[in-house]
Structure 1
């Protein structure tokens, strides 16, 4: 797992994309074990990406978490509850590759956990279709402008298409088992 021990104790990092980053950040930041979040652009071709000029990058969230409190697997399971991983390049009213579902892994262990989680989501039969979430090696993460950071904290009535879908929960979730969860 991506170890940040050199600069942040025993914390780890995850990078996810699942539609507009405002709603993703608002829901994920509230989860136990999440230390910090920031939104930005990744997975594309434009250096120094901005909101107005981000080329083929996805809107994404970088998550710093404490693995003693929450596992990478648990973060991914929550990620699959708050966005629709079965719609290609779309979440709610937002359409385009900027809004694609993607997991940007930082090491082979994250890649394996991501692939196993997707396989479990697929085989559960709970989600409305085939998962189209990309699993891609993380590249540069370009932090979004300050007005996009913690947007729904500043504008609580602002736009979001993200919400927790309690029915989209893997049967093993919440069991306390962390055998596959690291």
Structure 2
């Protein structure tokens, strides 16, 4: 019997990350061993149940995020963060590529004190390594209420791989992940 299916919810953890368009992050995290689910959504603003259109105005305070449920016995929170810092630019304030606005900010919403500690450690290690020539601007905040995005945003890349944005932006990030993190790719995506 599949051991993963026997896990109780208390044995699983959540990670909530924002780093540009949620379609990019979702496509990558769906392919990782130990990831049980990835839901695109919104977090970080005061407005309850925001719509995509409202979030796109940049006035709601929400970031586009992915909410990831994962098995820490298979993939660690640190692993998820290391992937996060490879597939987006953590040095650009409120934008990724052509996507501009506070909704595209780099943010880690933590679900425990341990996640907060790990997030700060990873950011400090990256800063110390001088991998980036500009300062890292990723915010680290305690996870607020997370609102799932509309259904048509879920599983977007899988459903629309030939859509222009997916081909030009999502696919290269997915390829970058796959080249650098081969050992973390789930067997069904190998």
Unaligned runs of 5+ in 2: 1-6, 183-190
Residue 98 of structure 1 deviates from its aligned partner by 0.3
Q: Distance in 1 between matches of 2:30 and 2:15?
A: 12
Whichever structure has more helix as a proportion of its residues is 2
Whether 2:36 is the aligned partner of 1:35: answer yes
Structure 1 runs (4+) greater than 6 angstroms displaced: none
Whole-Å separation in 1 of the counterparts to 2:73 and 2:94 = 33
Question: Which runs of structure 2 are paired with 1:32-181 in the superposition (5 Å)?
Answer: 32-54=33-55, 55-158=60-163, 159-160=165-166, 161-162=169-170, 163=173, 165=176
Residue 180 of structure 1 corresponds to which residue in structure 2? none
Question: What TM-score do the two structures reach when normalised by structure 1?
Answer: 0.84
Q: How many residues align?
A: 165
Matches for 1:3-22 after TM superposition, within 5 Å? 8-22=9-23
Within the alignment, does 1:23 sit opposite 2:24 as a pair? yes
Structure 1: how far apart are the matches of 2:84 and 2:113? 19
How far has the Cα of 1:128 moved from its partner?
3.5
Structure 2 CA distance for partners of 1:106 and 1:23, relative to 1, 3 Å: same
SS at match of 2:52: coil
Deviates more, 1:124-133 or 1:93-102: 124-133
Where does the alignment leave 5 or more consecutive residues of structure 1 unmatched?
A: 1-5, 175-182
The Cα RMSD (Å) is 2.1
CA-CA distance at 1:31 after TM superposition:
1.2
TM-score (norm 2): 0.81
Distance in 2 between residues matched to 1:157 and 1:89, nearest whole Å: 27
CA distance in 1, matches of 2:133, 2:41: 28
Shift of 1:94: 0.1
